[in-house]
Structures are given as structure tokens and as C-alpha cells.
Amino acid sequence: MNTQGSNGRHKRVLAKRLAVANVSINLLVTVVITAWMLLGSYRSEVNATRQRLDEIGRTIVPALVGSLWQVNAHEIDDRLDEIGNIPGVDYVRLQSHEELHQRGRPDAHPRVIRTYSLIYSDHQHFDLGTLTVEFGWSPVRQKLQHQAIEIGIATLSLTFFGTLALLLLVQARMTRSLEIMSSYLRMLRVEYLDIPLILPKSKWNRPPDEIDQMAGSINRMREYLAENVAARIRHEAELQSHHEKLEALVRERTAALEEKTRELELQSHTFEKMANTDALTGTCSRRFFIEVSEHVIARCARSKTPLAMLLLDVDHFKSINDVHGHAVGDQVLVGLASTCQAGLREIDLLGRLGGEEFGLLLPEVKMSDALVIAERLRSTLASLAIRIPREDEVRFTVSIGLCMLSDGSDTYETLMAHADSALYGAKEGGRNRVCVFDTTTLMAAR
């Protein structure tokens, strides 16, 4: 990560602001100091002027009074010249009786004026006139101006070099460090969190300052962020691992569930098949035969399609059981069912209704065809030989009751009652025969 770059737009703004502030403060301080120093100079100048005036009063004025008393014009002029030559004296005025002596020119606004009374004392006081001495502004002004210029130049030089030094110091320490820190924070990314912020080392072995503290805080924040990111990555990895384990578990459980469902479906299918199939003969169970018959009968009744119902019953089956055993009886039933089944169409339905009694539903078959089918069945079964171990074979006959769907109101129960009635007729008629149900008469086929 490059932390040496800087944002050009804000380059050294801080240093410039500091320089402007420093120059402004220095100028203000310069003005105040200059004013204060000039005031001090002015005061000391005033004191010096007063001391000179006192000196004039002590030395020259008594000599002047003596010259005036002696009326020594030459000496008077010398004294006045002496006063007029004192630095700073602009104007000297001697008013003695009618005479006026002047040196220099009076100022409209003199700086300091002092008037001396010229009195000669010799047991008596004689008033000889007044002496006025004026100190003007020009020498003091010049002096103060020079002083102001000197102070100004010195202070400005100090300001310039001080500001320059400050700028260099700020640039070397603050601006550069702040630029590096700013650049570091701008470039900071999750992948760079292991790179610490390093400020350029100072040549001098100085104690840590606020910039070092800030850099330390940034590094602590970076470490804290790095720890947090590492913890987050760790947690995400753990979460991912848990997620994968969970998904594997769900897949495993789903597979087990699907397997179980398949097993249950298979079982259910088997149970359904078992429930719908007669265990011994493989034909429809009574319940399934009734259920399907009800639908077929209703459909044929609606569409006025012919339908025949046959009820088959093995003749003297009890004797077969009694003579040959129950197992042989079972063999007879199996043989009957498979023989019947072999000659049926897809839409025909054979069901074992109980014991040795079977129902046979023949949709879309008219009476004449139904009779043919019933007779053929009876005949085929009568000639069927059931192979048994000891007696070689067993033969049997069946009685068949036949009825037709007569009108739209017929149901399974009515058809079954009719077929049963016909079967009863067949049994009564001597067995091994087909009987057709008729509402008025029972007609035997043979």
C-alpha cells in the first residue's frame, strides 16, 4: 500500500493557514510593541526635555538675569544663542520691558513650552522680563520615525524568518505526517490491514508528540479492525462448515426419508394390491369387486350400455373338501379362477365374493353373448381336471346365475340380488347349469 501520496487539492493548506496566522499575529504584535516602545521613547524624550529646561533654569537663566541687570547686550545675545543652540529648542523669546529678543521661529503647536520669570534679587526684587523657551516636534518625530522603522524592520525580519522556520517545521513534522496518515487511511482496505502505518523517523531523539499519538491510535484501530475481520472470517468459515454439515445431514435425512417413502409406497401398493386381490385365487377381492362394479354399473346405466353380471358357485364344494381335503378344495378354487380369467377381456372383472362363490362382470355384452360366455365357462369348468397327488384328479361343476342391466336405476345390489336369484334357480334346477334372471320367470339355459 502506497502511503506516500497526497491529495493535491489540499496540499499544505494547514501550513499556509499557520503562516498567515503567524504573520498576522506577528504584525499585530509588531504594531503593539512598536507603539509601546515609541510611547516609552516619547516619555523619556519629554523627561529629557524637562531636564534640559530645568538645566536652562539653573545655569543660563541666572546668567541672563545678570546680563540684563548689567544691560550687557552682547552677553544677552550670547545667552539667547546658547539657549537657541540647545538641540530640540525651536524658539526662544525674551521680553524685557520694551525690548523683544527672539531666536528661531514659533510653532503653532509646540511640544513643550516653559516661561521663566527674570527677576533680579538684591535686598529687593526687580522684574526684568520673561524668557519663553519652546521645544518643537521635528527632532522627536524624526527620532521616533527612525526608531519605528528600525523596530518594524527588525520585527518583520523576525516574522519572516520565524514564519519560514515555522513553515519548515510544520512541513517537516505535521504536514508530511498528516499527508501520510490521510493517504494511509484513504488506501486502507481489508486486505491491507496487516500493514502498519509508519511515519518517517525523526533525526532527533525527541519524545512522542500528538502526531505519534494519532499514528498510534490509527494503528490500534487497524489492529482492532484486523482482529474483527479475522474473527468474522473465522465465524463465516465455521458457519459455512456448519452449513455444509447441515446440508449433508439434510441430504442424508432426505435420502433416508425418500427411501422410507418409497418403501411405504411399495408397502402401501402391496397392501392395496393385497386388499384388492383375493389371496388364494388372485382374482379381485370382494371389496374391490364391489367397488369397481358400482362404478362400471353406474357408467353403463348412464350410457345405456348393456352389461351382464354372472354369479358362479361350485356345486357340492363341501363334499370336495370333505372327501379330498381342504387343500384340494383350494386347488379347485384356484383352477376355477385361472380358467375363468383366461377367457376374459381386459374390461371384464372377476372377483371372489366368498367361499366358493365368484362374481363376473361383463360390460358392453348383450344378453345373447352373455349367455354364450356363461355357458362356455360352465362347460369348460365341467371338463377341467384338477391334478391331485393321490387320486390323480378331481373334477367339479359350477352353477351360474346371470342377470342383465335392465334400466338406469339398477345398482350393484339389485344386480347381485338378481344374479343370486338366478343362481338359486340354477341350483334348484339341478346344478351344473346357467340360469338367467327374469322378473317374471326364471329361464334355465339348459
Ligand X SMILES: Nc1nc2c(ncn2[C@@H]2O[C@H](COP(=O)(O)OP(=O)(O)OP(=O)(O)O)[C@@H](O)[C@H]2O)c(=O)[nH]1
- Give residues in contact with ligand X (CB under 6 A): 280, 313-318, 321, 326, 329-330, 333, 355-356, 427, 431
Using Cβ positions, the residue closest to ligand X within the complex turns out to be 329
CA gyration radius, the chain: 73
Residue 381: CB minimum distance to ligand X, A: 14
Nearest to 15 by CA among 178, 124, 157, 209: 178
Q: Shortest gap between Cβ of 408 and ligand X (angstroms)?
A: 33
By beta-carbon proximity to ligand X, the closer residue of 400 and 405 is 400
The minimum distance between CB 308 and ligand X, in angstroms, equals 22
The answer to whether 356 and 280 have CB atoms below 8 angstroms apart is no
Q: Which helix (H) or strand (E) holds 110?
A: none
Residues 370 and 362 sit within 8 Å (Cβ to Cβ)? yes
Of residues 332 and 373, the one with the C-beta less far from ligand X: 332
Phi, psi values for residue 395, rounded to 5°: -120, 155
Residue 314 or 340 with smaller CB distance to ligand X: 314
CA 66 vs. chain centroid, Å, equals 110
* Residue (of 113, 43, 49) closest to 86 by Cα position: 49
| Identity of the residue, 91 or 289, whose beta carbon is nearer to ligand X in the bound complex | 289
SS (H, E, C) 310-375: EEEEECCHHHHHHHHCHHHHHHHHHHHHHHHHHCCCCCCEEEEEECCEEEEEEECCCHHHHHHHHH
Give the start-end residues of each E strand in 146-231.
none
User: What is the C-alpha separation between 235 and 435, in angstroms, rounded?
Assistant: 86
Closer Cβ to ligand X, 6 or 321, answer by number: 321
User: In this structure, are residues 327 and 386 in contact, taking their beta carbons and an 8 Å threshold?
Assistant: no
User: Could you tell me if 276 and 285 are in contact, meaning their C-beta atoms sit under 8 angstroms apart?
Assistant: yes
Residues 6+ apart with CB under 8 A from 148: 34, 38
Q: Toward ligand X, which CB reaches closer, 177 or 281?
A: 281
Q: Which residues of 272-306 are buried (b: 16+ CB within 10 A; e: fewer)?
A: eeeeebbeebebbbeebbbebbeebbeebbeeeeb
CB of 354 to ligand X, least distance (A): 7
Least distance (Å) from ligand X to the CB of residue 336? 11
At closest approach, how far in Å is the CB of 371 from ligand X? 22
Q: Which residue lies nearer to ligand X by CB, 155 or 331?
A: 331
At its nearest, how many Å lie between ligand X and the CB of residue 319? 6
Q: Min. distance of Cβ 392 from ligand X in angstroms?
A: 19
Q: How far is the CB of 390 from ligand X (least distance, A)?
A: 17
| Closest CB to ligand X among residues 313, 348 | 313
Task: Give the integer Cα–Cα distance in Å for 50 and 88.
Answer: 11
**Local structure of residue 126 (DSSP, 8 states):** E
Nearer to ligand X, 49 or 399 (CB): 399
E strands present in 85-190 = 89-96, 99-104, 112-122, 124-135
286 or 427: CB nearest ligand X: 427
- Least distance in angstroms from the C-beta of 419 to ligand X: 15
Which C-beta is closer to ligand X: that of 326 or that of 376? 326
Of 308, 283, 446, the closest CA to residue 379 belongs to 446
State the nearest-atom distance from the C-beta of 266 to ligand X, in Å: 28
Question: Which runs of consecutive H residues, i.e. helices, occur in 6-136?
Answer: 13-55, 61-69, 73-84
